[in-house]
Amino acid sequence: MSAKSAILIETSTKNVLYEKNAYIKMPMASTTKIMTAICALENLETKKVIKVDDGAVGIEGSSIYLAKDEEITIEDLIYGMMLSSGNDAATALAIEARGSVEDFSSLMNETAKRIGAKDTNFKNACGLYEDQHYTTAYDLALITAYGLKNEDFAKIVSTKEKNISNGNKGYPRVLKNHNRLLRLYDGCTGVKTGYTKKCGRCLVTSAKRDGVELVCVTLNAPDDWNDHIKLLDKGFSMAKKITVAESGEYFCTLDAPNSMEGKAEIVFERGLSYIDFGDGKSPEIKYDLPKEAMPSLKKGEVIGEAYLYAGGELVERTSLLASSSLSPIPPKPFMKVFEDYIKCFLGLYIGG
C-alpha cells in the first residue's frame, strides 16, 4: 500500500477487511464533499432552483465556474460537486442550506456524530485545507456506507458523465467524473476523489459484485488507483454473500384444527442472506410462531417472524406469511345440532 492511511469495509456489516493506520486523524481534501452531498440531499429539495450567492463565486481550487445570481438546481450543484469536484458548487450548497459555510459545517459535524464518525471534524464544505479539518479512514468509510443507502447519492456518485444547464446563462456544462475506477474496475459504483498539496491524493471508492458491497478509503496515497484495485480484489476474494432462504420459500406447516384445510403452509416474506467472511460463522434461523394457525388466516397475512443469526449475531429478519387463505369450518345448522342432541340423549337413555 502506498497510502499512509487505508481501510476496506463491507457495507452491510461494517466489517473491516483491511486497515492501515485507519484510526489516525488526517486531512481528506475533496472527499469532504461526500458529507456535503449527504447533508444537501437530506436538507434541501433537489429540484429547487436557486440563485448562486456571491459568496460561492470564485472559490479557490477546482470549480464549475458559477456566476453570481446564476440560476441552477440543487441537483445540478450536487452533480457539479461530486463529478467535477466544484468547490464553488459545494459552497453554494452550504450557503443555501444553512446561510453560511460555518453553520453548514456544524450540520456536517452533527451528521457525522449521528452516523458514528467520532473522530471527524469539518471546517468547510469543499475540503480545502484548514487546521482542525480532519477525519479518519475508518470514519470516512462509515460516512460513505451511510451515503450509499440514499438512492440519489448512489445514483450521482456512480454517474460517469452529466450535462447540466447553466440556467439563465444559457449554455450547458458537461461534467466528467474524476473517478477513473468507474471506467476501469468491474463493479465500481463511486465515490469521490480528492487532492491538495498538503493532503496528498485521497480517494474513496465503492464497488459491488454478487451482492457484496465494499467501500475502500485511502488518504495520502501516491498510487491510490492501484491501492484500491488491490484492496477491492482482496475484499471480493474474502467476502461472499450466502443466501439461506429465498423470498416466498416454504418454511413450515402449522396445524389449523378449526379450518377446512386443517393445515397452513408458512413462507418467508423476504429472502435471508448473510456475508460469509470465511471465519467459520455458521448460519442459524430462529423464529417466533404460534403453535396453531387461526382458521380465519388470509393469504399473505403475517403470522410470525424469522431471524437469521451468523456466529450468534443477528444479521437479518423477515416476516413469516400464510401462503394461502384458510376456510373456517362452518357451524352446523340448528336442526342438525338438535338432531345430534336427541340422538345423544336417546343413546344415553337406552344405554342407561
pLDDT tens digit at each of 352 positions of the chain: 999 999 999 999 999 999 999 999 999 999 999 999 999 999 999 999 999 999 999 999 999 999 999 999 999 999 999 999 999 999 999 999 999 999 999 999 999 999 999 999 999 999 999 999 999 999 999 999 999 999 999 999 999 999 987 667 656 789 999 999 999 999 999 999 999 999 999 999 999 999 999 999 999 999 999 999 999 999 999 999 999 999 999 999 999 999 999 999 999 999 999 999 988 888 999 999 999 999 999 999 999 999 999 988 999 999 999 999 999 998 766 555 556 666 665 665 555 4
Question: Taking Cα atoms as reference points, which of 141, 235, 236, 231 lies closest to residue 192?
Answer: 141
* DSSP bridge pairs for 144: none
CA 61 to each of CA 51, 84, 91, 128, 275: distance values in angstroms, whole numbers, following the listed order: 21, 11, 12, 8, 41
Number of other residues whose CB lies within 10 A of the CB of residue 308: 20
- Counting Cβ atoms within 10 Å, is residue 331 exposed (0-12), middle (13-18) or buried (19+)? exposed
Segment (H or E) for 265: strand 262-268
For residue 349, what pLDDT is reported? 53
C-beta neighbour count of 172 within 10 angstroms: 10
Annotated active-site residue in 5, 33, 63, 206: 33
The pLDDT value given to residue 53: 95
* Catalytic member of 62, 85, 158, 273: 85
Q: Is 176 a catalytic residue?
A: no
State how far the alpha carbon of 347 is from the alpha carbons of 3, 277, 313, 341, 344, in Å: 94, 71, 62, 10, 5
Query: Is 327 one of the annotated active-site residues of the chain?
Result: no
Cell of 92: 453554494
CA distance 322 to 264: 7
Instruction: Please list, in sequence order, all residues whose beta carbon lies within 8 angstroms of the beta carbon of residue 331, skipping any fewer than 6 positions away.
Output: none
Tell me whether residue 158 is one of the annotated catalytic residues: no
The one catalytic residue in 30, 62, 158, 259 is 30
